[in-house]
Structure 1
Amino acid sequence: MSISFRILGPVAVIPRGHAEIGGTSLGPPKARGLLSTLLLAAGHIVSLEAISASLWDGEPPRSALANIRTYTSQLRTAVNRDGIERLHGVAQGYALRLERGDEFDLECFRSRAQRGRLALARGDSEDAVELFTSALSCWHGPAGADLSTVGSIAHRLHALQEERLTVIEDCVEARLRLGALARLHDEMRSLTLEFPLRERLWAALMRVRYQLGDVSGALDAYREAYAALRDELGVEPGSELVELYLAMLNREVRLEPLKRPAEPGGHAGHARAVPRELPPAFGRLAGRDTQITAVQRVVVQSLDSTASACDCPCVVVLHGSRGAGTSTLAHHIAAGLRDQFPDGQLYVDIAAVSASVEPADLSLHVLTRMLRSLDVPLSLPPLEADDAAARYRTAVATSRLLVVLDNVTDARQIQRLIPAGKLCAVLVAGSEDLAGLDWATHLQRVEPLRPAPPRPAPVVHPASVHPAPEHADPAGWPRRTLHVSDVYPRLIRSRGGLGEA
């Protein structure tokens, strides 16, 4: 049985075929806060210290550990169904692992928003508006609307609201390109009143009014934005808003309603899309610096025609056991290589695609999607897989393109996806079955990271300790405040561990 999880609004769990479980049915606000914390880190272990920081401001109460165990026991009833254990307890914390078929509204929102940005980048404004609107429909109120927002969870929920506002702004940009300005104007007026510190919204309102012929109203909108930013933040508008204001004063042509340039023969022209499909690589990946640098150096050297004698693309394969972190490592490596590939970066999650198509259709499905991302016209009737692969290789033959193929389990899944251009590079992340791939330029085994061993306590000889006045710290012996990370190991030892695994 699949389950839907909601955090973009009141927190809720919805087992398929059953009534929604939310509010007090999930437990007190802190139990729902714990569920939100685990959902935001779905698939990863959240330590007891991180859970405490999420649920309590400052020093947690002495009963924190017992409370957390009570909350997890309540949540297990809601999320562990049909013999499937989704909520796991380990020695150092808890993890919530979603099963195939489970739905999480935050993942749905981000996936649709990313597809909308790709559509906007390739000039498909109608598709972009549809995808952005669909992404925003995942929201049913403020994120975590029924939580007592204290601790670090409050900051994370605020960050989700910022993501929503950014998608609203992206949707407005797509609608500006389509027209229908009269209806958009009223919505922009409401949005600037609700979010007066968002400069992109003010810029959109100015452009709508200007293109409707209301130059005076457009300049008035700038003055309103100026006053709001000055009064609330003590700052002046940023350079983009100022430049838009000056352009309107000068009646620059670029601000006129958008028109597609005509090509000889009367067809509307458009620039070739540059795909930017890499997923975000958040933060620094501790313990992997050497691997990241080594792989990036291999890829960069392959682009140097004087250093590379091979007339084929660089193919780097990261292989490891399940849970070793090959995907995360690939994301960080690719993020550092963006600037090396100005013609674009393609990303495909092979596991996600193979879950929805037959194995024999996988290559054609992926190639068709990649050709669309590259803005290559597709012929009718539909292409065969080999024809699609040939058209793909032709399209990128002289491009500096990075292709990331994630969650690969069999080399046959990706053979047709390898470009032929020397300036291209392919980063493959997958299972141990790829270890014997003989046509890879570089093979890198990914071992699971091990926690650092505990540091031994310093040995202090009584004879070396000298008393010092209470108002001053002895030289070389700074005072130390007891932190929650010091308390929990003692609590765990004294209570015999968590007890629930």
Structure 2
Amino acid sequence: MQLQIRLLGTVELSVDGRIATPGPAKRRAVLAGLALEANHPVSLARLTGMVWTEEPPASAVANLRSHAAALRRVLGDRLIARPNAYELNLGPDELDITEFQRLAGEGRGLLVGGEPDAAADPLRAALDCWRGGQAGDGLPRGTALDNRWASLDEQRLQVFEELTEARLAVGEHRPLLSEVRRHLAAHPLRERAWGQLMLALYRCGEVPAALTAYRDAHATLQEQLGIDPGEDLARLHRAVLDRSPDLAHVPQATPIVVAAAVPVTPAAVRVPRELPADLVTFVGRTPEVADVVAAVTGATPAAVVVSGPAGSGKSALAVRAAHAVAADFPEGQVFVDLGYQATVTADEVLARVLRALGVPAAEVPASVDERAGWVRSRIAGHRLLLVVDGVTGAEQVRPLIPAGPGPALIVVGQRQLRSLDGVRRVALGPVGAVGARALVAAFSGADRLKAEPAATAELVRLCAGSVLALRITGARLASRPDLSVAALVDQLRDRRDRLDLLVYEDQSVRSSLALGVAALRSGDELIGRLLKLLGESPDAPALPERTAARLGVSAQRARHALEELVDAHLAQRTDPGGYRLPALVRDYAAELAGPPALLAAHPLTGWRVDPVAA
């Protein structure tokens, strides 16, 4: 069965080339929610939030099951019932969003790489994926899907402006005028598009019209937002007034970035370029990268929290997204790694950012309020990207949330930091089987895995969707050409040795888990005792009342500690009302529950004492 699901516009379903009617709006919302999370189970609770705009009715679950049954008659075995969840299996070319983001990424890469002519075709093709209207047109609004639709609509505007940038770079000035004017009529607050219109007019010899466009932009921003145009647009205005030769079109292989048409960087101002290198062996996570990109280049505040389990590739994803948007932040990129140390305070983070922006250490104010004020003053209105990794608490980064247009913030941590107001959130789950095999193959070679399909499937299962575990096993195979996949699997099957094997050079699943646990323990001493208790029977679900009795605390206190583990992706909720440890966390908890002598017996752990008692 060949499916085509289209969400970029009115929701549409095609089966083997024939249009199928998904049914009423709520059924279409179920289809859209499952398609957006394709190949991952979506719980009934999450589906409820995607379908109903207000308090769901008492019959919500029954209605969802009815909608799912109707969809299964069309989708067949592509729609799978899971425990209290549904999963829709789709191929990479069966959802228009996936194709749109693939084409947009291809075009953006060519544009950044200095090939504007080649970039135009994939960018046009990406826009052709849209069928008019907004993403998810016709579905209920006010649901949990609203942020996804807003993100996609923002990505569409960005792609249009990237295509405009490519066309400006190859000299298509006059044909652009009417298109950019229509774009601005619908989206009058897009400063980048105002700059593109000014540049196109100037290159067509219409200098007065370019100056008028700037006045229109100024009036619009003042009237609707109460702000003046940013420095980039003001700089372009000055260049038009001066008839700067830098604005003339010169055929070249490098793209012309309108926002920096006349770069002026005072010698005294430091432009930080602190992003770590982008990983070459980055596999999958395309929708999540696109969500982060949309969050930091979209609405104010341009801030996003990337969360997920230890070893899920959060940092790598954030760095990849930061590199993808680096050209949009020409005034610098600051990277701060807190190392999941809960003892790092907001004033230390602020001081680190100020130093990165060129403030001498001796001049950094002593007061945290003054430091926050200095940071806000220095980043306001500037195209500056801040990335803060290893965050354990919202208080560490709250002062960095942008107060207006210009700067952007990416926060990376195990927790979703729900108390941060107005930020978008991108949560990473375990990587799927296809992506897991691709990641191991990137290290060990695809032919080696194809030769042992059953052992490869078991290896992927034992790594439990952990990007870190998969990278380590791939590196181990690469370093041992004589080691078969089946032999490595046999070693990994023994839980007592598993974490010892999931270590390679400076990478360690145990160390990654230990950091997350230590951060939680610093805020709640019960966490250490709780994990040791759960480690005594790591495969059994924990019930709050029974756990409370064994710990000697109230049920409410035990439930709060269990929820802290869930928030940090160290536990999962189960029905009815229980909690279970994820696979690799079980191995770690079992070690914590063992005697210190057993811990010391492991030659590769680095532990010589009980890490919970220490």
TM-score by length of 2: 0.48
CA 1:275–1:207 in 2, change beyond 3 Å: closer, same or farther?
Answer: farther
8 Å CA contact 1:435–1:443 kept in 2: the answer is no
Offset of residue 331 of structure 1: 6.0
Q: Indicate the residue corresponding to 1:495 in structure 2.
A: none
Distance in structure 2 (CA, Å) of the matches to 1:127 and 1:152: 37
Q: Indicate the residue corresponding to 2:200 in structure 1.
A: 208
- The equivalences for 1:386-425 within 5 A come to 406-409=438-441, 411-413=444-446
1:173 to 165, 175, 186: 165
- The equivalences for 1:29-428 within 5 A come to 29-80=25-76, 85-99=77-91, 102-141=93-132, 142-260=134-252, 281=289, 282=292, 283-288=305-310, 291=311, 329-330=312-313, 332-333=315-316, 335-336=318-319, 406-409=438-441, 411-413=444-446
1:437 to 466, 471, 478: 478
Offset of residue 97 of structure 1: 1.9
CA 1:337–1:226 in 2, change beyond 3 Å: closer, same or farther?
Answer: closer
Q: Indicate the residue corresponding to 2:486 in structure 1.
A: none
Higher relative contact order (Cα pairs below 8 Å, separated by 6+ residues): 1
Distance in structure 1 (CA, Å) of the matches to 2:321 and 2:155: 22
8 Å CA contact 1:13–1:79 kept in 2: the answer is no
Q: Indicate the residue corresponding to 1:26 in structure 2.
A: 22
Q: Read off the aligned partner of 2:42 and give its amino acid letter.
A: V
TM-score by length of 1: 0.58
Q: Secondary structure, in 3 states, of the residue corresponding to 2:57?
A: coil
Offset of residue 212 of structure 1: 1.2
Offset of residue 131 of structure 1: 0.7
Distance in structure 2 (CA, Å) of the matches to 1:203 and 1:450: 59
Offset of residue 490 of structure 1: 8.2
Distance in structure 2 (CA, Å) of the matches to 1:115 and 1:276: 17
Distance in structure 2 (CA, Å) of the matches to 1:42 and 1:438: 35
Distance in structure 2 (CA, Å) of the matches to 1:211 and 1:276: 40
Offset of residue 45 of structure 1: 2.0
8 Å CA contact 1:330–1:429 kept in 2: the answer is no
Q: Secondary structure, in 3 states, of the residue corresponding to 2:14?
A: strand
Q: Secondary structure, in 3 states, of the residue corresponding to 1:13?
A: strand
Instruction: Calculate the aligned-residue CA RMSD, in Å.
Output: 4.0
Which region of structure 1 is more displaced relative to structure 2, 123-132 or 50-59?
50-59
Distance in structure 2 (CA, Å) of the matches to 1:75 and 1:234: 48
Q: Indicate the residue corresponding to 1:12 in structure 2.
A: 12
8 Å CA contact 2:171–2:251 kept in 1: the answer is no
Unaligned runs of 5+ in 2: 255-276, 293-304, 328-435, 449-467, 481-503, 514-537, 550-573, 578-614
Q: Secondary structure, in 3 states, of the residue corresponding to 2:189?
A: coil
8 Å CA contact 1:169–1:201 kept in 2: the answer is yes
CA 1:339–1:90 in 2, change beyond 3 Å: closer, same or farther?
Answer: closer
Offset of residue 435 of structure 1: 4.7
8 Å CA contact 1:31–1:71 kept in 2: the answer is yes
CA 1:134–1:276 in 2, change beyond 3 Å: closer, same or farther?
Answer: farther
Q: Secondary structure, in 3 states, of the residue corresponding to 1:126?
A: helix
Distance in structure 2 (CA, Å) of the matches to 1:165 and 1:455: 48
Q: Read off the aligned partner of 1:62 and give its amino acid letter.
A: A
Offset of residue 108 of structure 1: 0.2
8 Å CA contact 2:53–2:140 kept in 1: the answer is no
Offset of residue 334 of structure 1: 5.6
Q: Secondary structure, in 3 states, of the residue corresponding to 2:72?
A: helix
Q: Secondary structure, in 3 states, of the residue corresponding to 1:152?
A: coil
Distance in structure 1 (CA, Å) of the matches to 2:18 and 2:138: 18
Write out per-residue CA displacement over residues 33-74 of structure 1, whole angstroms, 9 at most, x where no aligned residue: 111111111122222222122211231111111111111111
- The equivalences for 1:442-453 within 5 A come to 453=542
Offset of residue 12 of structure 1: 1.6
Offset of residue 332 of structure 1: 3.5
8 Å CA contact 2:170–2:251 kept in 1: the answer is no
Offset of residue 451 of structure 1: 12
Q: Secondary structure, in 3 states, of the residue corresponding to 1:26?
A: coil
8 Å CA contact 2:278–2:316 kept in 1: the answer is no
Higher helix share: 2
Q: Read off the aligned partner of 1:13 and give its amino acid letter.
A: L
Q: Read off the aligned partner of 1:57 and give its amino acid letter.
A: T
Distance in structure 1 (CA, Å) of the matches to 2:7 and 2:321: 32
Distance in structure 2 (CA, Å) of the matches to 1:211 and 1:179: 9
Distance in structure 1 (CA, Å) of the matches to 2:147 and 2:475: 41
Q: Read off the aligned partner of 1:138 and give its amino acid letter.
A: C
Identity of aligned residues (%): 29
Distance in structure 1 (CA, Å) of the matches to 2:36 and 2:6: 11
Which region of structure 1 is more displaced relative to structure 2, 27-36 or 182-191?
182-191
Offset of residue 27 of structure 1: 1.6
Offset of residue 224 of structure 1: 0.8
Offset of residue 149 of structure 1: 2.2
Offset of residue 206 of structure 1: 0.4
